[in-house]
Homo-oligomer: A and B are copies of this chain.
């Protein structure tokens, strides 16, 4: 989808009568706003001359230490010296692309993949090649074959971009058996892994999995991206990258050139929140809310989808990926859906090629359960028509 189409879709989706299964907006209303307000107020009165002053491009040290504690929950061990705080993990993605990609370089991603990652890689004139997934995530054999084919064609892959846990948009998670196989395929082909993990702590059932970075043989095999957008507040735009010291140095230089210094205020606000509030309990609150919404969506899909429609069953995150019967076109169907007051993102946006026509991404993060049921009911009618 081009930018104007995306904007038109989200303008429609924002209308109150429309059930939006389109956006990936977290449920900020579940935050204890009075508490957050007090955290912000204290920050200014107690640390205002630091919080409102220029900061460093690498980010506030005490926050980088807190980030290491957060990453440890998924098995990632890293030094705060090797963390770069970024304006959301999107900026980390952009800086990694800026550092590593020359025009014509090849990036391999899952099929489908995060739409903005496609746009970012395209902005640096990279070629994007997709590798298929199934319900256990990307298929290691297909990944290895793709690397071999690309090398044989003279376009060896430089980067493998992956959202291994509760993937956006597919909702699937790379299985624990496959994780070492994926790392091994990348290591053998000399391909750097860029692991994007914004949803990892939002698991609704099953056992937690360790991040790819946690079990990488060598620290320089995986650059890890994290974010507080889904576990605390998207609007503060605080994300991070964990890399080797050498790559971290380059990221800091690129960040200085892009934005001079990271805004200290939101960083100190996040750090103060993490250090003074029961943030882990708040994540449990989010989990409960999103689990109920996911269940509402899966139940409604079972109830209202016509035969021939299939969908993924996410164990966490924000998204279900639906596949319509062959020959149906989710993008062409969108105007009828919005007329019926339900919105989704057509699948084609999540591919760099022409795939995904029969797919749609259905988000369950934002509307309450009864609205999700109503939205899926309306969607069922549109598909059946």
Contacts from A to B (Cβ < 8 Å): 3, 25-26, 28-29, 31, 33-34, 36-38, 40-45, 48-55, 87-88, 90-91, 94, 116, 119-120, 123, 229, 233-237, 253-254, 256-266
Give how many copies assemble into the complex.
Answer: 2
Closest residue to A48 on the B side, CB-wise? B33
Contacts of A236 in B (CB 8 A): 52, 263, 265
Query: With A and B bound together, what is the CA distance between A31 and B45 in angstroms?
Result: 11
Contacts of A91 in B (CB 8 A): 258-259
Interface of chain A: mostly helix, strand, loop or mixed: helix
Q: Which residue of B33, B41, B94, B260 contacts A90 across the interface (Cβ within 8 Å)?
A: B260
Instruction: Using known A-B contacts A41-B37, A263-B263, determine if residue A257 contacts B116 with beta carbons closer than 8 Å.
Output: yes
Query: Assuming A31-B48, A33-B49, A120-B258, what are 19 further A-B pairs, CB within 8 angstroms?
Result: A25-B53, A26-B53, A28-B52, A33-B48, A36-B48, A37-B45, A40-B44, A53-B233, A54-B234, A87-B263, A88-B259, A90-B258, A90-B259, A116-B256, A116-B257, A120-B257, A123-B257, A235-B264, A237-B263
Instruction: Using known A-B contacts A33-B45, A261-B237, determine if residue A254 contacts B123 with beta carbons closer than 8 Å.
Output: yes
Closest residue to A264 on the B side, CB-wise? B235
Instruction: Using known A-B contacts A28-B49, A53-B235, determine if residue A94 contacts B259 with beta carbons closer than 8 Å.
Output: yes
Contact of B3 with A28 in the complex, beta carbons under 8 Å? no
Contacts of A28 in B (CB 8 A): 48-49, 52-53
Contact of B25 with A54 in the complex, beta carbons under 8 Å? yes
Instruction: Using known A-B contacts A263-B87, A266-B263, determine if residue A52 contacts B25 with beta carbons closer than 8 Å.
Output: no
Query: With A and B bound together, what is the CA distance between A94 and B258 in angstroms?
Result: 5
Closest residue to A30 on the B side, CB-wise? B49
Query: With A and B bound together, what is the CA distance between A262 and B36 in angstroms?
Result: 20
Would you mind naming 28 contact pairs between A and B with Cβ atoms under 8 Å apart?
A: A25-B53, A25-B54, A28-B52, A28-B53, A33-B49, A34-B45, A36-B44, A37-B45, A38-B41, A40-B41, A50-B235, A51-B235, A52-B233, A52-B236, A53-B234, A88-B260, A90-B259, A90-B260, A91-B259, A94-B257, A116-B256, A123-B254, A235-B264, A237-B259, A237-B261, A258-B258, A263-B266, A265-B266
Contact of A3 with B234 in the complex, beta carbons under 8 Å? no
Contact of B87 with A235 in the complex, beta carbons under 8 Å? no
Contacts of A53 in B (CB 8 A): 25-26, 28, 233-235
Q: Which residue of B49, B90, B258, B264 contacts A29 across the interface (Cβ within 8 Å)?
A: B49
Closest CB of chain B to A3's CB: distance in Å?
Answer: 6
Closest CB of chain B to A187's CB: distance in Å?
Answer: 29
Closest residue to A37 on the B side, CB-wise? B44
Closest CB of chain B to A146's CB: distance in Å?
Answer: 25
Closest CB of chain B to A55's CB: distance in Å?
Answer: 6
Query: With A and B bound together, what is the CA distance between A260 and B253 in angstroms?
Result: 20
Contact of B265 with A235 in the complex, beta carbons under 8 Å? yes
Closest CB of chain B to A257's CB: distance in Å?
Answer: 5
Instruction: Using known A-B contacts A52-B235, A53-B235, A263-B263, determine if residue A119 contacts B44 with beta carbons closer than 8 Å.
Output: no
Query: With A and B bound together, what is the CA distance between A40 and B38 in angstroms?
Result: 9
- In this complex, the member of A29, A31, A260 whose beta carbon has the largest number of chain B beta carbons within 10 angstroms is A260
Q: Which residue of B25, B257, B259 contacts A87 across the interface (Cβ within 8 Å)?
A: B259
Contacts of A54 in B (CB 8 A): 25, 229, 234-235
Contact of A260 with B116 in the complex, beta carbons under 8 Å? yes
Q: Which residue of B36, B45, B119, B234 contacts A256 across the interface (Cβ within 8 Å)?
A: B119
Contacts of A25 in B (CB 8 A): 53-54
